Amino acid sequence: MYHIIEIFLHLDKYIDMFIASYGALTYLALFVVIFIETGLVVTPFLPGDSLIFAAAAFAARGSLNILLLALLLILAAFTGNALNFFLGGKFGSLLSKSRFVNPKHLKSAEDFFKKYGGMAVVLGRFAPIIRTFVPFVAGIGRMNPGRFTLFNLIGCLAWVGLASAAGYFFGNIPFVKDHFSMVCIAIIVISLLPAVATFIGERRRARRNPGGGGAA
């Protein structure tokens, strides 16, 4: 856990060192992290938004190709979501009972999906942890594959596009460079706001209707 926190706080140093040591393999490493973060319900703790932001900032310095980076990360996010959707449809009932899947995270994603419907696939991309569970819940709920694919594509384009554009154009501003770790943390906090708002709304409704849930 300490190592994960260390990576979050010093993403700029880790990516810089990786580029210096492995060159083009950095693209593969970034692809794998984004794919796993969004593709497996047991790895919601991996960096997402902040990693894309940091990588795009380095692309602006010439260390990486921004177009190739964005295309690969869109593909990673899209295929990761598709895998998660498939796993939800095939093994959802078994995996949801696994000790490696946090039931609270799964319940939050279910509530989020019920509230926003198909758009949850798009909106969920901007909420860490939630985005890892929404496609899984969509698979469990047997969402139409074609409809899921459309929303999945829109969400991945928007998420990677906005995060990479922010990193590319603002990641090397002197203030941002000097406070890079704090900016990455701020991105994570902002990304969590939709999930927090949903949680607060659910708690308020539960207080107003403490014995609710009787109607089918």
pTM: 0.74
Predicted local distance difference test score (pLDDT) of residue 139: 86
Distance between first and last Cα of the chain: 41
> For tokens 């995270």, what's the residue?
105
Predicted local distance difference test score (pLDDT) of residue 38: 86
Predicted local distance difference test score (pLDDT) of residue 28: 92
Separation CA 55–CA 47 (nearest Å)? 12
Question: Which stretches of the chain score pLDDT less than 50?
Answer: 213-216
Residue 85's closest CA among 30, 27, 150?
Answer: 150
Predicted local distance difference test score (pLDDT) of residue 213: 46
Six-digit token string for 205: 């409704």
Predicted local distance difference test score (pLDDT) of residue 19: 85
Q: CA 89, 93, 95, 96 torsion: positive or negative?
A: positive
